[in-house]
Amino acid sequence: MGAAGAGKSTIGAALAAALGWPFIDADDFHTAVNIERMRQGVGLTDEERGPWLARVRQAMLDQIAKGRPAVVACSALKRRYRQMLTAGVNDVRFVHLRADELLLRDRLTSRRGHFAGPALASTQLHDLETPECEAVIVDAALPPQLLVSEIRRALNLEK
């Protein structure tokens, strides 16, 4: 979890590959309307995020029904979003990729082919409710392989 540009997709995919688990990217569940809003630099409202979060939750439930753990990359910016995603689901752990606005803007400016641009950095950070105790918090500025190792260690997922 974390703001746009924190590296959720990159780190999530690398972590999933290291663990041999499926990877679910919440970005794949946005509607075309929401993607266009974000492409224009407009942050989503709680009402716009609700159906999207429900689709992400369903993807999680689908993996649970198959008896498979998975890595999910999702902003999950607010505590109530995290609660919605995990209601009635056991053994979900959050990893917060913490990044400052300068890092987010730099990454969002330099990446190509993604709908989230630098204008979203401030709205994402404004909406972010830092998970004080329900998440492992890591520095998103670290190199990806170091982050994957640190996350695996923190979640006791080292082989």
Burial class (CB in 10 A: 0-12, 13-18, 19+), 113: exposed
Q: Which amino acid is at 7?
A: G
Taking only the tens place, the pLDDT of each residue in 54-103 is 999 999 999 999 999 999 999 999 999 999 999 999 889 999 999 988 89
Dist. CA 97–CA 135, nearest whole Å: 10
Rounded to two decimals, what is the model's pTM?
Answer: 0.89
Residue 24: name the closest of 9, 37, 38 by CA. 9
User: What does the mean pLDDT of the chain come to?
Assistant: 89
Structural tokens at position 135: 């998440």
Reported residue count of the chain is 159
Distance between CA atoms of residues 127 and 138, nearest Å: 19
What's the confidence (pLDDT) of residue 58?
Answer: 97
Q: Domains of the chain by range and CATH? A: 8-154 (3.40.50.300)
